[in-house]
Amino acid sequence: MKLRLALIAAALASFAGCTSPKAPTSSCDTAIVKAGFSCTDTEVLRAATLLRAMTLEEKVQQMSGPAYNPNNMFDQEDNTRLAIPGYRFMDGPRGVRWYNSDYGTTVFPVAAARGSSWNVELERRIGKAMADEMRYMGRHVLLAPTINQVMHPRWGRAQETYGEDAYLLGEMGQAFVLGAQYDPTVADPLDPTQVVDATAYRIQACAKHLAANNIEDTRIYVNAVLDERTLREVYLPHFKKVSKAGVSCVMASYNRVNSSYSGYSKAIVRDILKTEWGYHGWVVSDWFAKGTTLTSPVAGLDIEMPFSSGAFPTIFDSAYFYGTALSSGVQNGTVDVGLVDEAVLRILYAKVHFGVIDKWDKTKNWSPWLTKSDATQALALEAAREGIVLLKNGATAALTDDVLPLSAATQKVVAVVGKFANSENMGDKGSSDAKVVDSSLVITPYEGIAERLGATNPSVSACAGATPCALAFESVAGHEAALATADVIVVVGAYYPADLARSSTGEEGEWKDRVSMSLPQRDLDNINAAIALRGQNPNLKIVVVMKSGGAIVVNPWIADVDAVVMAWFAGMKEGTALGEILFGDISPSGKVVQSFPAEETDLPPFQNATTGDVSYDYYHGYRWLDRQSKAARWPFGFGLSYTTFAYSNLVVASPTIPESGTLSVTVDITNTGTRIGSEVVQLYVGYPNTALADSWGRPKKELKAFARVADLAPGAKATVILTVKASDLGYWNTATKQAVVEHAAHALWVGPSSDTNDPNTQKGTFTVQ
Ligand code: BGC
Alpha-carbon distance of 526 to 535, in angstroms, equals 15
As a whole number of Å, the CA-based R_g of the chain is 26
Residue 457 has pLDDT above 80, yes or no: no
Ligand 1 mean position, distance from CA 366 (Å): 23
Within 13 Å and on the Cβ side, how many CA atoms surround 494?
30
Residue 21, pLDDT above cutoff 90: no
∠561-562-567 over CA atoms, to 5°?
Answer: 90
Candidate from 305-319, 366-380, 443-457, 473-487 with smallest mean pLDDT:
366-380
Measured in Å, residue 275 CA sits from the centre of ligand 1 at 26
Amino acid (one-letter) located at 170: G
Is 154 close to ligand 1, i.e. is its CB under 6 Å away? no
Q: Give the model's pLDDT for residue 410.
A: 86
Residue of 143, 155, 209, 261 to mutate, ligand 1, most atoms within 8 A of C-beta: 143
User: For all residues of the chain together, what is the average pLDDT?
Assistant: 92
Ligand 1 centroid, distance to 676 Cα (angstroms): 41
Residue 584: CA count within 13 A, CB half-sphere: 15
* Percent share of the chain, pLDDT over 70: 93
Assign 3-class secondary structure to 502-569. Answer: CCCCCCEECCECCCCCCCCHHHHHHHHHHHHHCCCCCCCEEEEEEECCCCCCCCCCHHHCCEEEECCC
* Closest protein CA for atom 3 of ligand 1: 431
Residues whose CB is less than 8 angstroms from the CB of residue 271 and which lie 6 or more positions away in sequence, other chains included = none
**Nearest atom in ligand 1 to 305's CA:** 5
State if residue 286 touches ligand 1 by the CB under 6 angstroms criterion: yes
Q: Which residues pair with 663 in a beta bridge?
A: 724
Integer Cα distance of 425 and 612 in angstroms: 33
Closest-CA residue, ligand 1 atom 7, reads 287
Does the beta carbon of 89 sit less than 6 angstroms from any atom of ligand 1?
no
pLDDT value for 368: 53
Q: In testing the pocket of ligand 1, which one of 210, 288, 431, 433 has its CB within 8 Å of the most ligand atoms?
A: 431
Q: What pLDDT, on the 0 to 100 scale, is given for residue 264?
A: 87
* Digit-coded pLDDT (tens) for 359-373: 998 777 655 556 678
What confidence tens digit (pLDDT) does each residue in 307-324 have?
999 999 999 999 999 999
Q: Which residue of 286, 288, 432 sits with most ligand 1 atoms within 8 Å of its CB, as the best mutation to test the pocket? A: 286
Among 1, 207, 160, 274, which residue's Cα sits nearest to residue 509? 160
With a CB cutoff of 8 Å and minimum separation 6, the contacts of 2 are none
Bridge partners (DSSP) of residue 747 are 686, 765
Q: Is the pLDDT of residue 502 over 80?
A: no
Residue nearest to atom 9 of ligand 1 (CA): 431
pLDDT in tens, 131-189: 999 998 889 999 999 999 999 999 999 999 999 999 999 999 999 999 999 999 999 99
Residue type, 414: V
pLDDT, greater one: 458 or 734: 734
* CB of 143 closer than 6 angstroms to any ligand 1 atom: yes
Ligand 1 center to residue 374 CA distance, Å?
29
Q: Are 222 and 611 in contact (CB under 8 A)?
A: yes
Q: Is the CB of 431 under 6 A from ligand 1?
A: yes
Say if ligand 1 is within 6 A of residue 97 CB: no
Q: What's the gap in Å between 496 CA and the centre of ligand 1?
A: 20
Residue 206 CA: nearest ligand 1 atom is 10
Nearest of 236, 241, 251, 274 to residue 205 by alpha carbon: 251
Three-state SS at 71: coil
Q: Does the structure show a pLDDT above 70 at 297?
A: yes
Q: Given the CA of residue 500, which atom of ligand 1 is nearest to it? A: 7
Number of the ligand 1 atom closest to the C-alpha atom of 146: 9
**Residue from 159, 252, 251, 168 nearest 204 by CA:** 251
Dihedral class, residue 737 (left if φ above 0, else alpha if ψ from -120 to 50, else beta)? left
pLDDT at residue 467, rounded to an integer: 81
Burial label for 401, CB within 10 Å (0-12, 13-18, 19+), is: exposed
602 pocket-lining for ligand 1 (C-beta < 6 Å): no
> Which residue is closest in CA terms to ligand 1's atom 11?
287
CA of 11 to the centre of ligand 1 (A): 26
Question: Which ligand 1 atom minimizes the distance to the CA of 209?
Answer: 9
CA of 485 to the centre of ligand 1 (A): 47
Is the CB of 91 inside a 6 Å radius of any atom of ligand 1? yes
| Residue 721, phi then psi, degrees to nearest 5 | -105, 130
Ligand 1 atom with the smallest distance to the CA of 91 is 10
Closest-CA residue, ligand 1 atom 12, reads: 431
Closest atom, ligand 1, to C-alpha of 306: 5
Is the Cα torsion angle 52, 54, 60, 62 positive or negative in sign? negative
Q: What is the pTM of this model?
A: 0.96
Over 70: is that where the pLDDT of 460 sits? yes
* % of the chain at pLDDT higher than 90: 83
User: Does ligand 1 come within 6 angstroms of the Cβ of 704?
Assistant: no
Q: Is 283:302 a contact under the CB 8 Å cutoff?
A: yes
Q: Is 420 in the pocket of ligand 1 (CB under 6 A)?
A: no
Report the C-alpha gap between 661 and 651 in whole angstroms. Answer: 17
Cα-Cα-Cα-Cα torsion 372, 376, 381, 384, nearest 10 degrees, comes to -120
Asked if 270 and 201 count as a contact pair (C-beta separation under 8 A), the reply is no
Q: At 38, is the secondary structure helix, strand, or coil?
A: coil
Gap from CA of 157 to ligand 1 centroid (Å): 11
Contact 304, 291 (CB under 8 A): yes
Q: Which atom number of ligand 1 is nearest to the Cα of residue 160?
A: 9
Measured in angstroms, how far is the CA atom of residue 502 from the centroid of ligand 1?
14
Q: What pLDDT digit, counting tens, does each position of 528-575 carry?
A: 999 999 988 888 999 999 999 999 999 989 999 999 999 999 999 999
194 compared with 606, residue with greater pLDDT = 606
* DSSP letters spanning 305-333: -S-SBS---GGG-----STHHHHHHHHTT
CA distance 620 to 73: 35
- Give 200 Cα–ligand 1 centroid separation in angstroms: 27
Ligand 1 centre to CA of 238 (Å) is 19
Q: How far is the CA of 65 from the centre of ligand 1 (A)?
A: 14
- CB of 287 within 6 A of ligand 1: the answer is yes
Please state, in angstroms and rounded to a whole number, the distance separating the CA atoms of residues 208 and 242: 10
Query: Are the CB atoms for 723 and 707 separated by under 8 Å?
Result: no
What's the gap in Å between 717 CA and the centre of ligand 1?
45
The CA distances from residue 152 to 148, 520, 565, 610, 713, in Å, are 11, 18, 21, 15, 37
What are the residue ranges of helices labelled H in 219-293? 228-230, 237-244
Pair 565, 544: CB distance under 8 Å = yes
497 CA from centroid of ligand 1 (Å): 16
**For residue 568, how many other CB atoms are within 10 A of its CB?**
29
Q: In what order do the strands lie in the sheet with 717-725?
A: 645-652, 662-671, 717-725
Strands 141-143 and 204-210: parallel
For residues 204-228, b (16+ Cβ closer than 10 Å) or e, as one string? bbbbbbbbbbbbbbbbbbbbbbbbe
Task: Give the Å distance between the CA of 601 and the centre of ligand 1.
Answer: 31
Q: How remote is the CA of residue 88 from the centroid of ligand 1, in Å?
A: 14
Torsion 292-296-297-301 (CA) sign? negative
Q: What is the pLDDT of residue 503?
A: 73
Phi and psi angles of residue 205, each rounded to the nearest 5 degrees, phi first: -90, 160
Statement: residue 625 has pLDDT above 80: yes
Residue 5's pLDDT is: 38
Residue 342 pLDDT level (bands cut at 50, 70, 90): very high
* Three-class DSSP category at 34: helix
Q: Residue 450 and residue 422: Cα distance in Å, rounded? A: 11
- 3-class secondary structure, 225: strand
| Residue 737 alpha carbon to ligand 1 centre in Å | 33
Minimum CA distance residue for ligand 1 atom 4: 287
Atom 6 (ligand 1): residue with closest C-alpha? 287
- Mean of the pLDDT values across residues 641-660? 96
Residue 465 predicted with pLDDT over 90: no
Q: Tens digits of per-residue pLDDT, 415-439?
A: 999 999 999 999 999 999 998 888 8
pLDDT at residue 200 in the model: 93
Centre of ligand 1 from the C-alpha of residue 21, in Å: 34
In whole angstroms, give the CA distance from residue 269 to residue 250: 9
Measured in Å, residue 158 CA sits from the centre of ligand 1 at 14
